[in-house]
Structure 1
Amino acid sequence: MPLPPKIKGCLSLVSDEQGYLKEGAPITDSTPYEVRRAQELNAQLGPKGTPEAVDLLCDLHNTTANMGMCLIFYSFDWIALHIYNYIQSKMTSAPVTAIQMDISETYSLESVGKHGIAIEVGPQPHGVTRADIFNLMKEAVDLTIECLQKLNSGKKHVLVFCEDTVLPRKHVKAICNCYCTLPTGSTFEGGKVEAYTLVKSVDYPRDPTTNNITAAIHPQLQDNDFKLLKPGDPIFLSFSGETVKHEGEELYPVFVNECAYYEKKIAFHLAKKVTVTFPSVSVKKVD
């Protein structure tokens, strides 16, 4: 199914967790493949931060953590929230959650587009194909394209906000300068959605001399992403049998025991649940 032509987009299986999209030295014969490929993608889909960048870029990820179907974005912008709400309302095969990564400067692939979303699905071990995980990802991609097609249906119109918008003025100005293609009088209803914002990351207990990990994720925490973690709840079980308990405020663990985070010294993230209001959008015909 081709992407709608009016809101340009890109669906990609390539990630950039190492930050290779940063501008760096010129490409040479000794340049690592990841750096070379990242700069090729930036040239093809961007350049990042320019008017030529694609309107929407969707980056597809699998995770070893029990995240289910999770959307990740770096700002609560109107396109991301409408797509999230659409997928959440249509998908019945799994719960759909969303996390906002509050990072001032990002280098992930989806950040190359004017708008970007990462879709994380798990748990799936590396090197293993699981039909259920594949089908979840396919359903999310199909619903994303379906949502974009609805936004792009009809003739060109100016996109405007309904009066009850609560977005900052700078976002209102940006969106009113955009073009959408809903039929005259059509409205995408706004509303409220629950999402999560990151608070902090937690590392594994380590030997102070060797810096080696000395404990594993506690069985009561393992596979319990998005379940409220209270003070005193077990989070680690040391290799000598001691339990390490959570201290501090009640928060939600995410990306618990993610394989790719070992090298980053992250056992899991802690997040808080928030309610986000997103605006209705309607259109009026351009004379």
Structure 2
Amino acid sequence: MWGHPVSHSLSPVLHRAAYAALGLPGWGYERRDVDVDGFDAALAGLDASWRGLSLTMPLKEAALAAAETVGGTARATGAANTLVRIGDGSGGGSGGDGRWAAENTDVVGIVRALADAGAREVTDAVVVGSGATARSAVAALATMGVRRVTLMVRAQPRPETVEQARRSGLTVDVVTLGDWRRADVVVSTVPPPAVGGLDRMPPAGGSGTVLLDVVYGGGRTPLEDAAAAAGWSVAPGVDMLLHQATEQVRLMTGSEAPVEAMREALRAELARRG
């Protein structure tokens, strides 16, 4: 897991549990604090033993640029949270088997987390934020049948996010933080300090509203508390983390991920952290 910061990341817990359940004792998974300026050198320094990388902010766009091949969701969103080694890595550098394939498993993670929370027939959605993770949310919502997405932002949305939504066939509205519109699902992609004033949520509609706050940690976020008080269903951010990690495990190992073993390890670690 690379990014800045990464000390809080639960990804090592998930991946190590998967490797143990799959009988891969030689596999390891570590955190490494890497910023954008140090990314290229860090990537070039990896030897042939590395099968893949998980990337978090602020490296999702840099990872995409470093890849030789780009998967469909990574291309659509302009961001990658996963790099998978092409071949065995023995070619080195930018040629042969030293190349990397970029993927974006955040998209499937969002879809599965929302589905677990009861989101089924959805047509209208709100996405809080407009950065790389917001683009993953837009891509996920498009696959779920959403037709209109409202981007809720503090100032101006990133133009590439608006363009991506329109390319996906979605009608796009832009509103300021706290200007709530009717929605079947809401996905928040910004940290808690950036969402002040969002607690004045409207009551859930007749068919219900599902919130996914991608932020995870100890207990509910303020946004999740406000959503629950308004009668919304809440998809925990750790569910997205779990589901995107299962797809990473499949891509990196070539085996189906042991979902329940990973889920149990996640629960145990969250309980330990309190």
Q: TM-score range by the shorter chain?
A: under 0.3
Structure possessing the higher relative contact order (Cα contacts under 8 Å, 6 or more residues apart): 1
Higher helix share: 2
- Report which of the two has the higher share of strand: 1
TM-score (norm 1): 0.25
